[in-house]
């Protein structure tokens, strides 16, 4: 794996470009097993919005540093947010509205992953708990190492998961019974079971093999027409939430423009001549 210089994008995330047109986003708080605090949620949204606007970026891999992908929400800070000592008798309606706004801001941070035009690949090593499951559920492709473990842990702290897991995971797994079992019990789903049920599409032996596999797939995506990849992701996301007829109409509207792209001509010629072609960035 060829790794260019890694630079901190925030206090929580580091972004690098290990391959041309491929960005690697690392949750970079290993001393807390990458537990996510309040500041990190805002940084997550900023990082992905920035990458979404980066025309040189064609694929993204997200992973965690250290032994674990993500331990979920930072519980110490979480308690202080819910039960602040300086406002013990705050009006319940006002506190409720403030908490709804807070949850909404966290939801938008996770949805920013789904909304970027580039495909996002999650590479999960070790534990992926609570908010970590929210994050990978918003990704397009999920790989993990053989040591990976997943848990919808919110039930064990008296909560229902509220950042996208309960909305996205049933459509990913296609098994309502399993999703409900995991959400009601908080039990661990290990790598082998995650593969069987479609939580991930590939299990690699260890962290090194995991990153190599994720970056290899990202590089393959980055070698394709960015016009075609962007349209494909947009169509898949739209079709997931709409009827077949609506999805067909949606892609017809996209392709009435995209069929006129120079990328189509170059791709067809390269295919017929058994050669490769390079594509210009989106503008």
The predicted pLDDT at position 6 comes to 42
Q: Report the CATH number that the domain containing residue 243 is assigned in CATH.
A: 1.10.12.10
Single pTM value for the model: 0.90
DSSP 40-67: HHHHHHHHHHHHHT-TT--EEEEEESTT
191, 207, 222: which is the final residue of a domain? Answer: 222
Query: Would you place residue 272 in the very low, low, confident or very high pLDDT band (cuts 50, 70, 90)?
Result: confident
241/5: higher pLDDT: 241
Question: Which of 13, 198, 197 has the alpha carbon at shortest distance from 112?
Answer: 13
**Annotated catalytic residue within 132, 134, 140, 213:** 134
The predicted pLDDT at position 48 comes to 96
| Residues of the domain holding 244 | 226-273
Q: What percent of the chain has pLDDT over 90?
A: 74
| Same domain? 181 vs 266 | no
Name the 3-class secondary structure at 188.
coil
How many folded domains does the chain comprise?
2
What is the C-alpha separation between 30 and 68, in angstroms, rounded? 8
Is residue 148 a contact partner of residue 207, using CB atoms and an 8 Å limit?
Answer: no
Look up 176 and say whether it is catalytic.
no
Question: Is residue 2 situated within a structural domain?
Answer: no
| Same domain? 250 vs 127 | no
Look up 53 and say whether it is catalytic.
no
What is the C-alpha separation between 282 and 222, in angstroms, rounded? 12
| Same domain? 131 vs 249 | no
Half-sphere exposure of 61 (CA within 13 A, CB side): 30
The predicted pLDDT at position 2 comes to 39
Question: Is residue 110 situated within a structural domain?
Answer: yes
Look up 198 and say whether it is catalytic.
no
Look up 131 and say whether it is catalytic.
yes
Per-residue pLDDT of 60-105, as tens digits, reads: 999 999 999 999 988 777 767 666 666 556 788 888 888 899 899 9
Look up 193 and say whether it is catalytic.
no
Q: What percent of the chain has pLDDT over 70?
A: 92
| Same domain? 107 vs 230 | no
**Annotated catalytic residue within 114, 162, 212, 263:** 162
The predicted pLDDT at position 265 comes to 85
| Same domain? 56 vs 154 | yes
**Annotated catalytic residue within 130, 131, 132, 164:** 131
Question: Is residue 1 situated within a structural domain?
Answer: no
20/274: higher pLDDT: 20
Q: Report the CATH number that the domain containing residue 14 is assigned in CATH.
A: 3.90.226.10
Six-digit token pair at 49? 């919005």
Question: Which of 172, 74, 176, 60 has the alpha carbon at shortest distance from 122?
Answer: 60
Question: ∠ CA(12), CA(15), CA(16), 5° rounding?
Answer: 150
The predicted pLDDT at position 8 comes to 40
Per-residue pLDDT of 193-250, as tens digits, reads: 999 999 999 999 999 999 999 999 999 999 999 999 999 999 999 999 999 999 999 9
| Same domain? 80 vs 144 | yes
**Annotated catalytic residue within 74, 132, 154, 213:** 154
Per-residue pLDDT of 123-180, as tens digits, reads: 999 999 999 999 999 999 999 999 999 999 999 988 899 999 999 999 999 899 999 9
């Amino acid at each position: 794996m060829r790794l260019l210089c890694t630079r901190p994008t925030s206090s929580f995330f580091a972004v690098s470009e290990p391959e041309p047109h491929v960005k690697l986003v690392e949750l970079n708080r290993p001393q807390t097993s990458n537990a996510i605090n309040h500041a990190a949620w805002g940084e997550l949204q900023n990082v992905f919005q920035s990458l979404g606007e980066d025309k040189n970026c064609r694929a993204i891999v997200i992973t965690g540093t250290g032994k674990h992908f993500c331990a979920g929400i930072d519980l110490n800070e979480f308690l202080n947010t819910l039960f602040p000592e300086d406002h013990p008798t705050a009006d319940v309606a006002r506190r409720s509205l403030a908490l709804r706004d807070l949850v909404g801001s966290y939801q938008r941070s996770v949805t920013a992953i789904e909304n970027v035009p580039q495909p996002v690949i999650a590479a999960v090593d070790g534990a992926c708990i609570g908010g970590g499951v929210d994050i990978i559920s918003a990704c397009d492709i999920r790989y993990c190492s053989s040591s990976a473990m997943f848990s919808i842990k919110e039930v064990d702290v008296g909560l229902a998961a509220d950042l996208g897991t309960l909305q996205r995971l049933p459509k990913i797994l296609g098994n309502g019974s399993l999703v409900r079992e995991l959400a009601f019990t908080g039990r661990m789903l290990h790598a082998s079971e995650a593969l069987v049920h479609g939580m991930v599409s590939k299990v690699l032996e260890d962290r090194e093999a995991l990153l190599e596999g994720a970056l290899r797939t990202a590089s393959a995506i980055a070698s394709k027409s960015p016009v075609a990849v962007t349209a494909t992701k947009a169509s898949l996301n739209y079709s997931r939430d709409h009827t077949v007829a609506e999805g067909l109409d949606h892609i017809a509207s996209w392709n009435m423009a995209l069929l006129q792209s120079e990328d189509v001509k170059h791709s067809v010629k390269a295919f017929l001549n058994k050669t490769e072609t390079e594509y210009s960035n989106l503008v």
